[in-house]
Structure 1
C-alpha cells in the first residue's frame, strides 16, 4: 500500500506572512491609542501605561504630550524623562514642535509622541507628525501615539457629512494598518458630554461651542461606531496574520482586488475615499488608475492637477497607482483589470448630458455593458460642486480664435464661389465649402472644423440655393442636399481634426524620442562622472524648461554638487538635507513630496542595480503646478539613463583603479623576487667565504685566502651597490633627491667612473674618447659619476663582456656623452621600456641580470640635473646599444684644454 499522505505538508506557514514578520523584527513597534473623539482619555491611558512600563525598568521617554490644561494628565508626566521641544518660527510666532533629531540621538527603547495627525511647522523635515514617527520606527524605536477616528484619511468625507465639520489634519489608513497594537479607548456619549461640561475636555468657552456643534449624542454615537468597526477590522487582520504565520487552517477571506477609476472631475476624491472604505471592509488590495486618450496629457493644467491630486490621495490611503493611455478607455480598463486579476471596478457616475450620452456612451455605461465577469460599483456624487473656471475642452481664447478662423475661411469660400459661378456657371459649389471645412480642421482643430461646417451650411443656403439671399428652400431635393452636405462636412471635419491631433501627437512623440536618443548618445560617450552629470542637467533643462541639479556620492559616500544648469554655486541647507534624504532612503523628497515639501527642488534618487549612486533635483518653471504626465515620464527616462551612465563611469574608474593595483602588485612581486635573488646571492657568497676562512684558515695557502677575501670584498661591493640603487630610487620617487648644481668637468667624471668599474670588472676593456675644448656643465659631480658607473655596469652585463667605449663631445649648445657596447643590442620596441622600473632585458647567456633599477635610476638622476638620456640600437655595425646623455653646456667658465 502507498504510504499515507502527509496532510501537514499543505499546512505550511504562508511565505509572505513569514517574510513580513521577519521584516518587522528590525523595525520599531507602533502602538496607537484610538478614540472616537477628543476627551475620551487616550493620552491619559497612554501615559498611565507608560509609567507602568517605566516602573518595570524600561527606557521610556516622552517626546511630546499635549495635556490641554488637564491636571490629571499633567500629573502623569511627573517622573518621566521629557525631551525638550524644538522652537519654530511661523508667521511671527514661536511655536514648539517635536524634535525628531533629538529623539533619534537619544534613541530610547520606547518614546511617547502624542497627536499623530498633527501638522508640523513649515521648516520641519516632514510636513506631518506621522512621518516623523515613521522615521523613528525605521530607526528601531518603539512608539506610542494617540489618534481620533475622524483623522483617518478614508473617513474624512464621512465625518464631514456626519458632523458638518471638515477635518483638515488626516493620517493615511496604512499607518493604522501597520500598527503592531491598536488600543481602543472608549466611553459612552453621555459620559463624554458630561466630561465636556465639567471642563475636562476643553476650556469653558471652547466647551460651550463644541457642545452645540460637534459633541452631540448623534455625532458621538456615529463616531464611536466608526472607531469600533475600524478596531475590529484591525483585530481581524492580526488574527489572519497569526493564522498564516502558524499554518492554522481556517476560512480565509476571498482574494478580492479593487480597481478604482480616477478622472479629471471634482468627484474623483469622493470616489477614491469610497473605494478606500470598500477595500478596507473587504480587506482587499486596491489600485487607482487614470486612463487618458493620447494627446490629452497637456490639455489643461487644472485638469492635470486634479488628476494628480486624486492619485496622491489614493497613495496616501494605501493604494498603488497606474497611468494608462488608449483611445478605447473602457476596453483598456477591462484589459488591465483582467490581466492584473482585479475582481471589482469602482468609478464615479458620468455627468455627461443626455445628448452627449446618445452620441457616445459614457465610460460607466460602457463598463457596465462590456464587463461580464467583473463587478462594477458606481459611486453617487450628488454633492460635488460644479467645476469653477474654464471648461476642459478648450480655452475661451482658442475656441474664439477657431470660430473666427472658420468664419473667415467660409467667407473666402463664398467669394471664390461667386467668381467660379460667374465664369464657369458650375451647377454645385458645395465642394468649395468642404475644402474650407478641411482647411479649418487641419489648421485650427476640431472645434473650428465643426463651426466651419455650420457656417458653410448657412452660407451655401444663403448665397447659392434658390431663392437666393434668404434661408428658405424652395425644393425638397435642395433641402436633402443641404442636409447631406452638413452631415458630410461634420464627418469630414471630425476625421480631419482627429487626423491633425494624431499628427501633432506623433510629432511631439517623435521629438521626445529624438531628444532621448540624442541624450542617450551623448551620455554614452561621456566617460567621466562630471561629463555625465553635465549632459543630464542640460538635457533635463532643455526637455522640461526647469532648473536641474545632479549631486553624486564619491567613494566616501558624502553627496557633492556635480552639475547644475542653469549654473548654481551650491545648494541651500534645506535643499542639501532633502538631497541626502533622497540618497539615503532611495525615495523622492522636496517639492510636492512628503519630506521637506517647502524645498524648491524635488530630488529623485539615481538608482542602479548596485544601489543609489546620486540624486537629481528639478525646480520646475511653474512651482504651483505638478509635473505633467509627459514631463514626468521624460524625467524618469532621463534619470534611468543617467543612473546607468553614472554606474558605467564608476565601473570604469574602478576598473582603472583595479588595473593600477594589479600593476602595483606585479611590481611588488618583481621587487620581492629581485630582492630575494640579489640579496641572497652575495650574502651566500660572503657567508661561504667567511665560513671557509674560519674553519680552514690555517690550512689554506696565502693565495687562497686572498682569493676568498677578494670574493668577500667583491660581493660586499655588489650588495652595497644594490642597496644604494634602492635608496636612490626611493629618493627619486619621493622627490627628496638633493642635487648640487656646480661647475663639472665631464672628463673627470668619466675617468672616475671608469676607474670604479675596472675594480669591479678587472678584465673589462674600456675606451675613452673626449673632444678637445669641451665646455663645463652645471650638474652634480657625484651623481654624474654614479650615472656613468651604472651605464658602464649595464654595458658590461648585457654586452657579453666585450669592449665598451665612452665618447664626450659638443653638439651645438649641448655636451653629449655616449656609452656604447658591442653586445646583441636592444629590440626597437624596448628602447623606451628599458628605462622603466624593474624591467630586465636578457643577457647573452639567456639569464636575467640585475634588478631592473639601474637605467631607471639613471634617467631620474639625469633629469634631476637638467639633462636627458635616450637609448639607440643598433649602435655600430648592426650590433650593440648606445646610451646618449645630453646636458646644456655652460660657457661662462671657459673650456677645457
Structure 2
C-alpha cells in the first residue's frame, strides 16, 4: 500500500468548499462590458437548448428593453408573473421559491428592489434562491461592480447608480463572457438594436465611445480571466495537483472616518483582485478617546460595509500606538503588503502615519494612496467641545502659573537648586488629568517659565552659563518623556476602566440570569438587561410549541412588532444572520434583529429599536451586544435543558405508573378471572356428577374472586376520581364508634376469621369528616392488616381524642415495614412482599386511603415497629367537631 504524502493530499478546505457547493444551487453570470453586447440574448438562446433537452427552465424575470429578437427567444418558456402588472414589475421571489424549477433565469443582477421588499438588492434575492438549491442564470455589466464604480466614472464620466459587491462575482460557479468589438457594438446602437432612438442619442455621449468601450472591455476580460484562474486553483487544490499555485499575497488596508478612506478601499480591492490576494481592512481607535461625531461614525461604518461588500474581512482595533498595532497585526496575520492613505497637504504639527509605517515596516510592502486636494473646513475636522478645550488648554496655563508663583515665593525665602522638579509635577498633573496634548503644552510652558524666572539672567529667554543650558535641555527632555508616560498611563487606565465596566456588565448579567428560574424569567432578564446596557428599547422573540416565532418579552413592555418587522425577525431566526435596520434584509424597519445562537441550536431573536436618523451601532455597543447575547444563549440553553429534564422525569414517572398498572392488571385481573373461568367450566361440565359440597365450594370461589375483581376495579375508579379532583368529601359531624363498627363488620364479612380488638374511649366527641369515605379507609386498613399480619393474629383498633383531633389507629402484629418504606407504601402501585399467601395486591389501597383522608382535611401516618419490635400501626387523625352550646 502506497502511503499518501502531505503533498499528494487534496486541500481539506477546498474539499469542504466543494462539498458545501453540492448542497446549494449553481450561479451562472453572463458578463458583458456594456449594454447591448447580447447577454440576455445569449442566456435565452442557451436556455432554449436546455429546455429542448428536457431541463425544467423557468423565466423569473427578463428585461428585453424593446428588442424584438430577444423577446421572441423568451416565447414558449414558462414565465412567472411579476409582482406588479407593468413592464418593469418586480421579481416575485416567493413565487420562484414555491415553483422551484431546475433552472431559473433572473435578469438584471444589479437591480435595486422597490422600498419595502424583503431584500433591497436583487443579488440578495438570488442568494436566497441559490441557498434553496435552485440553479440561477443572470446577467451583469462590468460597470456595476462595486470596486470599479469610481473608475468607471473617471473613464466614462457617467455615474453608476446600481452596484453589487465583488464577492457576488467571485462566488459565481460559472462566468460566461459575452463580448463584442467596440465598432460592432456602436454599429448595433446606431441600428436601433440596443436603445430606442432618443436613448441611443444620449448613450453615444456616455458609454458608447470607442475609447470608453475599449476600457470597459479590458476590465471585463480581466475580471473573467481572474475568475477562471480562481477556478483553476480550486481544481488543483481539490485534485492535489502540483500546479500554478497562487502567490499567497495578503493585504492589510487601514481606514478611518475620513473621506479618502473610500478611495483607499476601492483601490485596495482592485489591487487584491489583480494579485488574487485576500485582504483585511482595519480601523484603529485610541483607548479612552472621545466618541466620534455621528457623521464620522456613519462614514466609518459605510467604509467598513463597502469593504465587506467588496470581499474583505474587517476588524476594529484599539491601541495607543497606531503604528505598533498595525505592524503587530500585519505580522500576526502574515500580511505581505499594507495599503494606507495619505491626505493631501502637509501636517506640520503631527507625525504622518504613512511615513511612520514606511519607516518601521521592514520587509512588508507599503502602498501609499495619495489624497486629492480638497478644501478643508474647521467643521470637517473632529473638534472638542468647549469644556474639553477649556480643560486641555487651561490646565497647563493654570498649573504652570501656580507653580511659578509658588516657586517665586519659596525662592524669596530659601534659595532652592531644584525648582525644576516643581514644573515636572505640573507636567504630570496635566498629563494625568487632561491627556497627552495638555502634557506637551505644559512642558513647553514650563520650559519658558523656568528659563524666564529662574535661570540667570532672569527676565529674559537667554542663558548665561553653559551648565544652565544643559540643565534646561535635560529638563525639557525629562518633562516631555514624563508627560508622554503619564498620558499613556492615563489612557491605559481609561481602557482598563472601560474593560472593567464591560466585565462588570457581563458579571451582573450572569448573576441576573443565574437567579432566573424558568424560561419566562430568563427572557425577561435578557430584555431588561439589554435595555439598561444599550439604552434602547428591546424585544426578545422565541419559538412557541408550534414553531412560530412570537415576541415573548419586551422592555419597555408596551412594544409591538408589525408584520414586516416580524418577517425580518423570522428571517434572522431561520438564516441565523442579522436582519432589519440597515442590513441586507428589510433594512427599512425600525428594529435591528440579531439571532441568539448557542453551540447546538437557534434559541431566539433579540431586537433593538433604532431611531430614524440613527447610524449603525458603535463598535463598543456592538461588542457589548454580542457578548450579552452569548451569555443569553447559555442561559436559554440551560433553561431549555432544565425544562427538557423535567419533562423527561415526568415521562419516566408516567412510564413507571403505566408499567405498574399493566403489572397489576396482569396479576390482579388474570388470577381471579382464571379461577372464575375454571370453576364455571367445572360446574358446566361436571355439575350433576359433583357432590353438593364441592359445588358449594366452587360457587364460593366464584363469589370471592368476583369480589376481588369488583374491589380492584373500584380501587382504580376511586384513584382516578381522587387524582382528577372529583372526590368532594363532606365535612360534617360524624359518630366515630358507629363508623368503626360498620367497617369492622364489612371486613369480617370478607374475612370471617378476622380477629379485631376494639378499644374506643368513652364519650368520644364527634369528628368532622365524611362517614362513607372514612368507612372505606378503615376497611382498606383492616384488609391490609389481615393480609400482612396473618389470619391467626388479632388486629387492634383504638380511637381517642388528642387535643382538638380525633385519632384512630389500626395495628397489626406482622413483620413490620422498614423505615425507608414508610412513605413509599402510600405511593400508587407500590407493593411489598406477600403477606398471607395471596398476591400482594394492586398497591392502591393505602394510596386511596391517603387521598380520601386528605380530601376530608385529615391525615394518615404509618409507624413501624408498633408492638414489641413487630407490627405496623396506621394512625388516622381528623379535626373534632365543635360542641353545640
Output the TM-score relative to the length of structure 2: 0.88
SS in 2 for 1:37: coil
What is aligned with 2:554?
564
What corresponds to 2:58 in structure 1? 61
Look up the SS of the partner of 2:205 in the other structure.
helix
Partner residue, 2:18: 21
Query: Is 1:378 aligned to residue 367 of structure 2?
Result: yes
Distance across 2 between alignment mates of 1:305 and 1:255? 33
Match of 1:880 in 2: 872
The counterpart of 1:803, out of the listed 794, 816, 819, is 794
**C-alpha deviation, 1:10, in angstroms:** 6.7
In 1, Cα distance between the equivalents of 2:632 and 2:808? 57
| SS state at 2:608 partner | strand
Partner in structure 2 of residue 789 of structure 1:
779
1:303 and 1:11, CA in 2 relative to 1: closer, same or farther beyond 3 A?
same
Higher mean Cα deviation, 59-68 or 651-660?
Answer: 59-68
- What's 1:286 paired with? 279
The reply to whether residue 680 of structure 1 matches residue 677 of structure 2 is: no
Note closer, same or farther for the CA distance 1:886–1:777 as it changes in structure 2 (3 Å cut). Answer: closer
- Alpha carbons of structure 1 residues 519 and 462: separation in structure 2 relative to 1, 3 Å: same
The partner residue of 1:34 within 31, 35, 38 is 31
Per mean C-alpha deviation after superposition, the further-off stretch among 795-804 and 579-588 is: 795-804
| Matched residue, 1:277 | 270
* 1:716 maps to 2:706: yes
Partner SS state of residue 86, structure 1: coil
User: Given that residues 410 and 456 in structure 1 are in contact (C-alpha distance below 8 angstroms), is that contact kept between their aligned partners in structure 2?
Assistant: yes
Describe the shift of the 1:537–1:159 C-alpha distance in structure 2 as closer, same or farther (beyond 3 A): same
Does 2:501 correspond to 1:504? no
How far residue 220 of structure 1 moved from its aligned partner, in angstroms, is: 1.2
1:84 aligns to 2:101 (yes or no)? no
Distance 1:692 1:428, change over 3 A: closer
Question: Aligned Cα RMSD in Å?
Answer: 3.8
Q: Distance in 2 between matches of 1:401 and 1:553?
A: 53
Write out aligned runs for 1:243-254 (5 A).
Answer: 243-245=236-238, 250-254=243-247
Distance in 1 of aligned mates of 2:121 and 2:435: 46
Which whole-Å deviations, capped at 9, do the CAs of 1:318-363 have from their partners, x for residues lacking one? 2223344455555554554444444444434577947568xx6745
2:232 counterpart of 1:235: no
1:631 to 621, 626, 630: 621
Q: Which moved more, 1:805-814 or 1:109-118?
A: 805-814
- The answer to whether structure 1 residue 594 and structure 2 residue 584 are counterparts is yes
Listed one character per residue, the Cα deviations across residues 245-278 of structure 1 (whole Å, up to 9, x for unaligned) are 5566643444443333444543333333233223
Q: Which residue of 2 aligns with 1:151?
A: 144
Q: Which residue of 2 aligns with 1:521?
A: 511
- Once the two structures are superposed, residues 494-553 of structure 1 have per-residue CA deviations (whole angstroms, 9 ceiling, x without a partner) of 222222222222222223223323333333343422333333333333333333333233
* Distance apart, 1:118 and its partner CA: 1.6
1:401-416 to 2 correspondences below 5 Å: 401-416=391-406
8 Å Cα contact 1:271/1:346 also seen in 2: yes
In the superposition, relative to structure 1, how do residues 483 and 256 fare at CA in structure 2: closer, same or farther (>3 Å)?
Answer: closer
Rounded Cα–Cα distance in structure 1 between residues aligned with 2:29 and 2:526: 45
- Local SS of the residue matching 1:626: coil
CA contact (8 A) 1:546 1:618 kept: yes
Question: Within 1, Cα distance between the matches of 2:582 and 2:850?
Answer: 64
Question: CA 1:115/1:247 → structure 2, altered by over 3 Å: closer, same or farther?
Answer: same
Query: Once structures 1 and 2 are overlaid, which stretch shifts more, 14-23 or 867-876?
Result: 867-876
The answer to whether 1:127 aligns with 2:88 is: no
* Residue 155 of structure 1, CA deviation: 1.4
Q: In structure 1, what is the Cα distance between the partners aligned to 2:87 and 2:448?
A: 70
Query: 1: distance between equivalents of 2:270 and 2:28?
Result: 22
Does the CA contact (< 8 Å) of 1:821 and 1:882 recur in 2? no
The CA deviation string for residues 223-259 of structure 1, in whole angstroms up to 9 with x for no partner, is 1111122122223333444455556664344444333
Distance, in Å, in 2 between the alignment partners of 1:573 and 1:220 is 47
Q: What's 1:854 paired with? A: 845
Structure 1 residues 316 and 881: CA distance shift in structure 2, 3 A? same
- Alignment of 1:268 with 2:261, yes or no, is yes
Whether the aligned pair in 2 keeps the contact of 1:297 and 1:629 (CA below 8 Å) is no
Q: Which one of the candidate residues 541, 546, 551 is aligned to 2:536? A: 546
Aligned partners of 2:423 and 2:446 also within 8 Å: yes
How far is 1:174 from its partner? 1.9
Q: Structure 1: how far apart are the matches of 2:495 and 2:360?
A: 31
Separation in 2, partners of 1:369, 1:419: 49
The alpha-carbon distance between structure 1 residues 441 and 244, as it changes in their structure 2 partners (threshold 3 A), is: closer
In 2, Cα distance between the equivalents of 1:629 and 1:378? 27
* Residue in 1 that maps onto 2:156: 163
Q: Does 1:619 align with 2:594?
A: no
Shift of residue 222 of structure 1?
0.6
Per the TM alignment, residue 650 of structure 1 is displaced from its structure 2 partner at its CA by 1.3
SS where residue 567 of structure 1 aligns?
A: coil
1:16 to partner: Cα distance:
4.0
Task: Judge conservation of contact 2:537–2:608 (CA < 8 Å) in 1.
Answer: yes
Output the CA distance in 2 between the equivalents of 1:351 and 1:776: 106
- The CA distance in 2 between the partners of 1:852 and 1:648, in whole Å, is 38
Aligned to 1:657: 647
Q: Is the 8 A contact 2:343 2:371 kept in 1?
A: no
Q: Show CA shifts across 1:167-203 (max 9, x none).
A: 2321112211222332222223233334434444444
Structure 1 residue 884: deviation in Å?
A: 0.8
Give, in whole Å, the separation in 1 of the partners of 2:228 and 2:444. Answer: 65
Q: Shift in Å at residue 378 of structure 1?
A: 0.5
1:528–1:296: structure 2 CA closer, same or farther, 3 Å change rule? Answer: same
Does 2:308 align with 1:315? yes
Q: Could you tell which deviates more after superposition, 242-251 or 107-116?
A: 242-251
Three-state SS of the structure 2 residue aligned to 1:24 is helix
Residues 838, 852 of structure 1: 8 Å contact kept = yes
* 2:693 maps to 1:703: yes
> 2: distance between equivalents of 1:567 and 1:409?
52
Give yes or no for contact 2:767–2:878 (8 Å, CA) kept in 1. no
Whether the aligned pair in 1 keeps the contact of 2:860 and 2:874 (CA below 8 Å) is: no
Matches of 2:392 and 2:465, distance apart in 1: 33
Cα contact 1:349–1:378 (8 A) shared by 2: no
Aligned to 1:216: 209
Query: Which residue matches 1:107?
Result: 100
Q: Decide whether the 8 Å contact of 1:347 with 1:364 is kept in 2.
A: no
Q: How many residues align?
A: 882
Q: Distance in 1 between matches of 2:753 and 2:503?
A: 80
Q: Hey, what's the Cα distance between the residues in 2 that align with 1:12 and 1:463?
A: 79
Match of residue 252 from structure 2 = 259
Contact 1:590 1:603 (C-alpha < 8 Å) held by counterparts: yes
Moved more, 231-240 or 600-609: 231-240
Partners of 1:455 and 1:255 in 2: how far apart? Answer: 53
1:666 maps to 656
TM-score computed with the length of structure 1 as normaliser: 0.87
CA contact (8 A) 2:287 2:494 kept: no
- Residues 422-442 of structure 1 deviation map (CA, whole Å, 9 limit, x = unaligned): 443546644433332222222
CA distance in 2, matches of 1:579, 1:73: 40
State the Cα distance separating 1:7 from its structure 2 match: 9.6
